[in-house]
Amino acid sequence: MMNKLKVFLLSVTLFFFKSLVIPKPVISTNFLQCMTIRSPTTQVHTKDSSLYPTLMLKSQQNPRWLNCSETLKPLYIVDPSQEPEIGAVILCSKVQGLQVRVRSGGHDYEGQSYLSRSPFVLIDLINLRQITINMEDQTAWVQSGAPLGELYFSIAQKSGVLGFPAGVCPTVGVGGHIGGGGVGALTRKYGLAADHVIDAHLVDVNGQILERKSMGEDLFWAIRGGGGASFGVITAWKIKLVSVPSIVTVFTVHRTLEQGASKLINQWQRIADKLPEDLFIRIITQNVRRSYGVKKTTSFPELGLEANDCIEMSWIDSVLYFAGHPRGTPREALLDRDHQLYKSYFKAKSDFVNHPIPETALQQAWRRHLQIGEAYVVMEPLGGRMNNISETQIAFPHRTGNLYNIQYIVKWKVNEVKEAQKHIHWVRMLHRYMTPYVSRSPRAAYFNYRDLDLGINGINGTTSYLGARIWGTNYFKDNFERLAKVKRQNREINETPSYVTPLLNLHISSIKRLLANCSSFHNIYSLIFSVNNFPPELSVYSGSHFHIFSTCTTTKSHTTHVHAKNSPLYSLVDVDGRILDQKLMGEELYCAIRGGREVSFRVTTTWKINLVPVPRILTVFTQLSNMVKGLLSLLINGRKLLQAK
């Protein structure tokens, strides 16, 4: 069972804090006053602060969102230096009805870690970046604000034969990367970064700091690959390190379309997932312009190797190599989280491939590639260890059956609307062209390559489960339903609209369930209780026309209880299986169920109604008239007949 939680953001922390309960919210007139009361030493930066522009720009990696009129910048930026400060921010945001965004590395592809369409507070974890490595059990606690480069560097400082299977970009924040899964160069050998998480610290919506035991296994399952930001502020991950060789071999070989690169890629996609798991070969295509007159071409690394193509180096140096740094770059470059190599205006989309793409289709894709300027298609092989891990082991589902994943990226240099529209249109058209050749039902996508074209939440998290499932299954396949159940295990997660995750703040009450053949209250109660951790909207049938199974009349008070057969005399069963009468349900709900379609609110099993006087003897008749003008005559004649009697 899960302890109560309710936020959706992301982060990471260190040390061994037990569940710390922050006192109940203090109602204040504004966010700043609340923070002064709860955490007087915490730095809160308003839009008028001299540091605000610097903090806003420092970590973001996709500046195209900063001038977007459809999004809002944060009302406040908070950069806590200790975990308990986050609880204060969450509670004060809750009191003021503000959303919360959390930024660890600023690499969210759609800017969701630092932008919103509703007023919000940004928690920047840049100061929570401590890394503690335990060489005895080969584990590490790493705070969410630490970038991958700092993690790799810290491990290498302790050992030349230990590493961690995460991404190739050193400026990506650990918090969000692991929360979404974490694909990298060691994925075929060891699986995802999230596969090697053994504990975590999470600040929930009540300001409590939870670890694995107190959060429960369901929530611990969800935050590994299911988007940790959807469930709370993850402040730290405890990870298991893996063995790496003291010397690794790397290579890059370039080929052009004229040199038959399509044939080589066709060959690669048929063997890349089947090669020994120690071998990781990825494909990167890009348009190249050379100043000495060579035609615009597309270059590809490929399988035809010669001895001078191969370079031996340490594992940590290979991290620099894969990150695009030239040979000989000092390892300390991994500590530079502001490296401009990774900052640009861009749009990206992703796919997973289950079957080799026909060579003719690849050729057409490359021709489209040549239509735009700075664009990339990155193909990363899967297979190996990924085939041996169940789709349900953690929330990340893309395992057996996938040959490789594809990332389509287009970049531009000028932040102008027309320029952005042109490049975004291009990547959308390429993605659309690839539809017949990639995974289907659903067309899978990688959560860490977030793509809002697939779908977004409504403002203030008004998205229904059925609406969110359209894009939720793209990212999480069948695991999406379980993620929704985990979210719903504590109703507080969805009852506070000030906490809106970019993707998973769902009103789960819209999920359809049918209670068939409910002939007794016991049946209804049992069925609701069985889904207590996932309360759905229940379609209750008491008869095709509200058929009454039985009645119990009290002549003394002139009232009647109308209820299902064998039911006790109560009124309503709520989503937790509790039996409520008028007093317990409260006047607002009592008002709503009368004329407001009661099954929209809960299962109403009994109505207590006032009776009305009726004559002892009634006279009834039926006569049909095809002429409206005869209606009055019928009524008059009927009255005369009654009087004559």
Contact 175, 144 (CB under 8 A): yes
Distinct helix (H) and strand (E) counts, the chain: 19, 26
Q: Find tokens 């990150």 and name the residue.
A: 323
What H or E segment, with its residue span, contains residue 298? strand 297-299
- Token pair 């690169």 is found at 261
Strand partners, 607: 562
Estimate the crossing angle of helix 315-322 against helix 148-158, to 10 degrees: 160
Widest pairwise Cα distance in the chain: 119
Q: Are 576 and 535 in contact (CB under 8 A)?
A: yes
Please list, residue by residue across 436-448, b when 16 or more beta carbons sit within 10 angstroms of its beta carbon and e when fewer do: ebbbeebbbbbbb
Instruction: For strands 120-124 and 99-103, give the pairing.
Output: parallel
What tokens were used for 153?
């560097």
Token representation of residue 619 = 């006279």
Catalytic residues: 449
Name residues whose C-beta falls within 8 Å of residue 324's C-beta, 6 or more positions apart in sequence: 341
Three-state DSSP class for 196?
Answer: helix
Query: Tokens 């630092």, residue?
Result: 114
- Token pair 């060691």: residue: 186
Q: Which residue has the tokens 């003008």?
A: 629
C-alpha distances (whole Å) from 447 to each of 202, 381, 644 are 20, 17, 82
**At a CB cut-off of 8 Å and minimum separation 6, what does 95 contact?**
25, 26, 27, 28, 31, 34
457 closest CA partner among 118, 174, 132, 194: 118
Q: Write out the two tokens for 602.
A: 């809960």
| Sign of the Cα pseudo-torsion (452, 457, 458, 459, in order) | negative
Helix spans in 402-478 (H): 417-433, 465-476
Three-state DSSP class for residue 586: coil
Q: Which residues contact 214 (CB under 8 A, 6 or more apart)?
A: 3, 19, 208
Q: Which residues of 476-499 are buried (b: 16+ CB within 10 A; e: fewer)?
A: bbebbbbbbbbbbbbbebbebebb
Is 204 within 8 Å of 212 (Cβ atoms)?
A: no
